[in-house]
Amino acid sequence: MNDNANPLLDFSGLPRFDRIRAEHVAPAVDALLRNAREAIQRVDDDAHPASWANVVVPTETAFDHLDRAWGVVQHLNAVVSAPAIRDAYNAALPKVTAFYADIAQDRRWFARFRALAEGPGFAQLDDARRKVVDNALRDFRLGGAELDDRDRERFKEVQEALASLSAKFDDNVLDSENAWAHYVDDRQALRGVPADVIAQMRDEAESDGRAGYKLTLRSPCYVPVMQYADDRSLRATMHRASATRASDLGGSPSFDNSDVILRILALRHEEARLLGYRNYAELSLEPKMAQTPSEVLAFLRDLAHRARPFATREYDDLKAFARDALGIDDMAAWDLAYVSEKLKAHRFAYSEQDLKQYFPEDRVLAGLFRVVETIYGVEVRPSVAPTWHPTVRFFEIVDAKGALVGQFYLDLYAREGKQSGAWMDDAINRRYVHDRLQHPVAYLTCNFSRPVNGAQPYFTHREVITLFHEFGHGLHQLLTRVDVAAVSGLQGVEWDAVELPSQFMENYCWQWDVLSHMTAHRETGAPLPRQLFERMLAARNFGTGLAMLRQAEFALFDMRVHIDYIPGGRESTSGEGPSRAASSAPAGSSAAAEPQAWGDANDLQAILDDVRREVAVVPKPPYDRFIHAFDHVFAGGYAAGYYSYQWAQVLSADAFSLFEEVGVLSPEIGARFRDEVLARGGSRPALESFVAFRGRPPSLDALLRHNGMVAS
Ligand SMILES: [Zn+2]
């Protein structure tokens, strides 16, 4: 097959979704990896003094093409995962992963970047280009390129061992979840549970060839049972099963994550020590906006301290309501969601279902575009492009003069073979190719219910918030003005600042000015009544104190465990020298990825107990083993980074507060937010962008006010 015949290798415009097939993946990926390797080789071999033109430019197009084509394959695998495309994706994945791990340690390429940074031309580069070089040097360093041969070998082993332990952690959680089921014969035992959930349980029992109802720990079953089941002992059974998943108290010892957790922590500690950091928390923060672990700890402690009085009051209210209205004298962990739900319905007298009748899809989209058009002075209009499914739509954003700014795909509905959840991904990054501008393109993906019988769908308010959130990420990608792909849009933006533009957009879902224009009742066509809006607002802050404290507890544990937990046990915690695990592991031996010793589980529990003493209001039952299923931290990308959610919330709330001061739809403030935050992408530190917009460093006040936590 020659390159012209492979549509994955056609980079003349938008992806050729009308022609791309699974059999195009392997030859395209091979060709693009070869191409990228050759481009790096040419840079490595170049004997001229290092310059932007001979170090960065020669690889730009090769990497852009690899990103774009591989992005298409990843996207198809996520949204139309037929066996053929999944196989093609899985076959190519190890090659792509190995390529990126290898180039992070390419010392000749690293040397060329260093020469560029130290050379006379560096100071003449613009901010974005200097940032690209700085980021590259940092990533080489964090990829192990500076280590000597022995340590570099060990570093790679540690990384590989960590990858497989993380996968093992996830497998254990999933397997222990799948291994557990509870069968109920009598429908009376399910009193209070919504009918559609019961129908699902009936269905699950039938697939197992049994009568009655099957209850599982998966969220579509677990969550409604905990919220609505009147049978207290049923809730207690479910709670215990969920809280002991993948632990020593779980159903099966083979799914116990106790050792996996200790080994992951030991290897992370070793990885950090190899790179010269005191602990993994320091390493994790290196590419983030937060500067030091103590800054993050202080932030979380402050937040917890402020939320605590509200959480205490909420908890007391729940206990009183449980006693007086529900006859529960000793409210326990398994009653919390149930009592909350009952108190909320009692206080605010409306349901999510009532609200849903007001949000037809066409009005919601028009309302979203109206916000964006008003504050950013752009226009969103329908356009056409080849897509992967007939229900996918395509739009373009143009500026006031009608010039193209960017384009996006909108894939709203759930369907078989499409990964659940909602997300934004980049399809094409903005950059200049010679003198021609390459416009940015984004994928916006949701999983809302699809139209039935040609009638348009209605969204829950939660779904409307999700759509605004993802569109916020999309605007970050599309309204960028950066000319180099490596720091345009979301590229190179600090992990703990990425959620700023998305959470910012959520605020518009709570504005009367916005909602009154984007609602129409299914039967009457009337907009949302002001009185119902007021009740929504009143209910918005129900339980936020407890929720904020719970997030702070998770985040503090995550941070503390990556600072204070020292593999090798307590005796080494006082020493400043490298830990035993880091200094004496034999390189190259078959058991090399196994650290010699790791701290014991008691140390881990001691840290958790300490965090709970400090912040928690709700007592936990002694069987609670939540860390054994804490996959964000042990399997996801949030290790010593779980605080990012609350960190970015401070930024988004504080950014929105300037709009509240001047006008939530102010074009003047909108232009400033676009110029100083959205347009800048990763071309300068997120803090600088924020200060340039807000005129001062971020403040906690707006977040507290939005959550009803102002002293009154
Ligand atoms: Zn997000």
Q: What is the pLDDT of residues 487-500, one digit of tens each?
A: 999 999 999 999 99
Question: Which DSSP category does 675 fall into?
Answer: I
State in Å: Cα 507 to ligand 1 middle.
14
pLDDT tops 70 at residue 578: no
| Secondary structure (3-state) at 216 | coil
pLDDT tops 50 at residue 585: no
Q: Which of 470, 477, 392 is nearest to 76 (CA)?
A: 392
The pLDDT value recorded for residue 568 is 65
- Which residue reads 């007391």 in tokens? 316
State in Å: Cα 659 to ligand 1 middle.
21
State in Å: Cα 465 to ligand 1 middle.
11
pLDDT tops 80 at residue 137: yes
State in Å: Cα 115 to ligand 1 middle.
37
Pairing of strands 393-398, 379-383: antiparallel
The pLDDT value recorded for residue 656 is 98
pLDDT tops 50 at residue 572: no
Q: Are 520 and 527 in contact (CB under 8 A)?
A: yes
Give the range among 13-27, 505-519, 586-600, 685-699 with minimum mean pLDDT.
586-600
From CA 285, how far away is CA 640, in angstroms rounded?
8
From CA 324, how far away is CA 449, in angstroms rounded?
39
From CA 409, how far away is CA 44, in angstroms rounded?
38
State in Å: Cα 499 to ligand 1 middle.
5
The pLDDT value recorded for residue 438 is 97
| Secondary structure (3-state) at 427 | strand
The pLDDT value recorded for residue 453 is 80
Question: What residues does 379 pair with on adjacent strands?
Answer: 398
The pLDDT value recorded for residue 711 is 57
Average pLDDT over residues 661-669: 97
Phi, psi at 271, each rounded to 5°: -55, -45
The pLDDT value recorded for residue 264 is 95
Average pLDDT over residues 601-615: 89
Give the pTM.
Answer: 0.87
Q: Which of 601, 616, 500, 637 is nearest to 556 (CA)?
A: 616
State in Å: Cα 371 to ligand 1 middle.
19
pLDDT tops 90 at residue 223: no
The pLDDT value recorded for residue 195 is 86
pLDDT tops 80 at residue 584: no
Greater pLDDT, 708 or 507: 507
Q: Are 482 and 406 in contact (CB under 8 A)?
A: no
Give the range among 224-238, 276-290, 340-354 with minimum mean pLDDT.
340-354
- Which residue reads 């006379």 in tokens? 120
The pLDDT value recorded for residue 594 is 46
Dump pLDDT digits (tens) for 434-446: 889 999 999 999 9
Supply the Cα-derived Rg of the chain in whole angstroms: 27
The pLDDT value recorded for residue 4 is 61
The pLDDT value recorded for residue 505 is 98
State in Å: Cα 500 to ligand 1 middle.
8
Average pLDDT over residues 637-660: 95
Q: Which of 37, 34, 41, 31 is nearest to 11 (CA)?
A: 31
Which residues are within 8 A (CB) of 565 and not within 5 positions of it... i.e. 6 or more apart?
265, 269, 599, 603, 604, 607
Dump pLDDT digits (tens) for 363-412: 999 999 999 999 999 999 999 999 999 999 999 999 999 999 999 999 99
The pLDDT value recorded for residue 160 is 83
State in Å: Cα 277 to ligand 1 middle.
30
State in Å: Cα 485 to ligand 1 middle.
21
Banded pLDDT at 591 (limits 50, 70, 90): very low
From CA 548, how far away is CA 703, in angstroms rounded?
11
Average pLDDT over residues 468-489: 97
Catalytic entry in 157, 204, 361, 470: 470
The pLDDT value recorded for residue 690 is 98
Residue ranges near ligand 1 (ion) with Cβ within 5 Å: 502
Dump pLDDT digits (tens) for 310-364: 999 999 999 999 999 999 999 999 999 999 999 998 999 887 778 889 999 999 9
The pLDDT value recorded for residue 354 is 82
The pLDDT value recorded for residue 243 is 96
Counting runs of H as helices and runs of E as strands, what totals does the chain give?
28, 9
Percent of the chain residues past pLDDT 90, beyond the cut: 79
The pLDDT value recorded for residue 494 is 96
The pLDDT value recorded for residue 588 is 36
Mean residue pLDDT of the chain comes to: 91
pLDDT tops 80 at residue 601: no
For 476, the token pair is 């970050």
Question: What residues does 424 pair with on adjacent strands?
Answer: 444
Average pLDDT over residues 158-162: 88
State in Å: Cα 233 to ligand 1 middle.
37
State in Å: Cα 426 to ligand 1 middle.
13
The pLDDT value recorded for residue 353 is 77
State in Å: Cα 424 to ligand 1 middle.
8
State in Å: Cα 61 to ligand 1 middle.
28
State in Å: Cα 503 to ligand 1 middle.
7
From CA 56, how far away is CA 172, in angstroms rounded?
43
pLDDT tops 90 at residue 597: no
pLDDT tops 50 at residue 521: yes
Phi, psi at 587, each rounded to 5°: -75, 140
The pLDDT value recorded for residue 383 is 98
State in Å: Cα 423 to ligand 1 middle.
7
pLDDT tops 80 at residue 674: yes
Banded pLDDT at 599 (limits 50, 70, 90): low
From CA 218, how far away is CA 206, in angstroms rounded?
17
Average pLDDT over residues 179-185: 95
Greater pLDDT, 584 or 359: 359
State in Å: Cα 481 to ligand 1 middle.
21
The 3 state secondary structure assigned to 337-382 is HHHHHHHHHHHHCCCHHHHHCCCEHHHHHHHHHHHHHHHHCCEEEE
Average pLDDT over residues 246-273: 93
Is 499 annotated as catalytic? no
The pLDDT value recorded for residue 200 is 83
